[in-house]
Chains A and B, each alone.
Chain A
């Protein structure tokens, strides 16, 4: 029990540290929000809103915005540490590397959450949707974000060593998270159309399975990525 409490306290300390730094600079979050809005608007221009059935494309547009903007935010996960040598400070600590990983994922999830709090209402407004079923929407956005954040944090730790740091992460992340995008779009579609979640239960199961498998896999493999 004491071990679990120690683990939790360490994760919280790490997350608090990240949030405190992000709060001061606000780099990641602002970029994600702005870019997400740009994607929404661009799709709005790309599809002639008067003609097209907005209800049909809105879920796709939302998840395109989330996918693209989150790759921007995720690619910065470790840049604050690598550039200042703080990563060695972390490695010197007597903590499991997976603890460091989970704390990063948690912090990234929070940044994504902030961006989504802006993007979802923006979508509802821009595409003139009904704002019902908020709870289900919250659930699918959470599950989808975990999918992105888990693998995204791992890949971000990989990408940071590459010369093509910023462009590499989307190339790695988007193909792997295809199931997440598919599932989330289907579920969101169903939510906007007013169906109950039972209709798309199998998609939710797939989403949960993806999250669990890839979070666990990433946590295990993180050791190999972060150590020298």
Chain B
């Protein structure tokens, strides 16, 4: 128990350091994007360093949740359910942040708050799926049933995401698409030079570590809260 705590502190510390380093790198070290015109655009472009990792974590969280759901159905252990719930909550948070930062980037760059661009639209549908998952959980009182049904929905919802992305991408191209042809993000895009690339990777790492730390903390909290519920019920009898 003490050992676990020590590792968690170390991990949290490392994550904090990594995040700080990322922020410093992004705002002080990263070179300006070469082909962007205005000062605003250049500043806002730096959101890319946070926005894409945020989106990546959103997807990772969904994947982990679906795997946890599968684990719960197979093993029936509460632990899987806790990981699933925690992952969805964190994923929802990051996806929300991703959508908002995406919007903030879009306005100066494309002069619109929203565009039906494939990745953005898929993220929006993904956001809805996350919320739907939480709606399933909130409506069922029976504990075992709630966990089982939520796990089933989580799995189906996750499988729908890649199919969805494909469909939306095809929907958004001008010509009937062959897989691999991308036509989006052409305006306001930039080529990432090598410096930008490794700074981006640092940010990606920082966000992934953040996800793991948040997941562990949330699962711990959930475990304690359930244990308390258990004890309370036992005392009341």
Which positions in A face B, CB cutoff 8 Å? 151, 154-155, 158, 161-164, 168, 171-172, 175-176, 178-179, 182-183, 186, 199-200, 202-203, 206, 209-210, 213-214, 217-218, 221, 224-225, 228
Q: Chain A residues near B139 (CB, 8 Å)?
A: 161-164, 168
Complex-state Cα separation, A155 to B159, whole angstroms: 14
Q: Would A158 and B153 be within 8 Å (CB), given that A168-B135, A225-B148 are in contact?
A: yes
Q: Chain B residues near A163 (CB, 8 Å)?
A: 139-141
Q: Does B27 make an interface contact (CB < 8 A)?
A: no
Q: Does B128 make an interface contact (CB < 8 A)?
A: yes
Q: Would A176 and B148 be within 8 Å (CB), given that A162-B140, A202-B170 are in contact?
A: no
Check A206–B156 contact: CB distance below 8 A: no
Q: Would A217 and B170 be within 8 Å (CB), given that A171-B135, A172-B136 are in contact?
A: no
Q: Would A158 and B149 be within 8 Å (CB), given that A172-B136, A176-B157 are in contact?
A: yes
Check A172–B148 contact: CB distance below 8 A: no
Task: Out of A164, A179, A199, A225, name the residue touching B135 (CB < 8 Å).
Answer: A164
Q: Chain A residues near B176 (CB, 8 Å)?
A: 199-200, 202
Q: Would A206 and B177 be within 8 Å (CB), given that A158-B152, A175-B129, A221-B152 are in contact?
A: no
Check A179–B152 contact: CB distance below 8 A: no
Which positions in B face A, CB cutoff 8 Å? 73, 125, 128-129, 131-132, 135-136, 139-142, 145, 148-149, 151-153, 155-157, 159-160, 163-164, 166-168, 170-171, 176-177
Check A182–B167 contact: CB distance below 8 A: yes
Given contacts A162-B136, A168-B136, A224-B151, 8 further A-B contacts (CB under 8 A): A154-B156, A162-B140, A171-B135, A182-B168, A214-B160, A224-B148, A225-B148, A225-B149
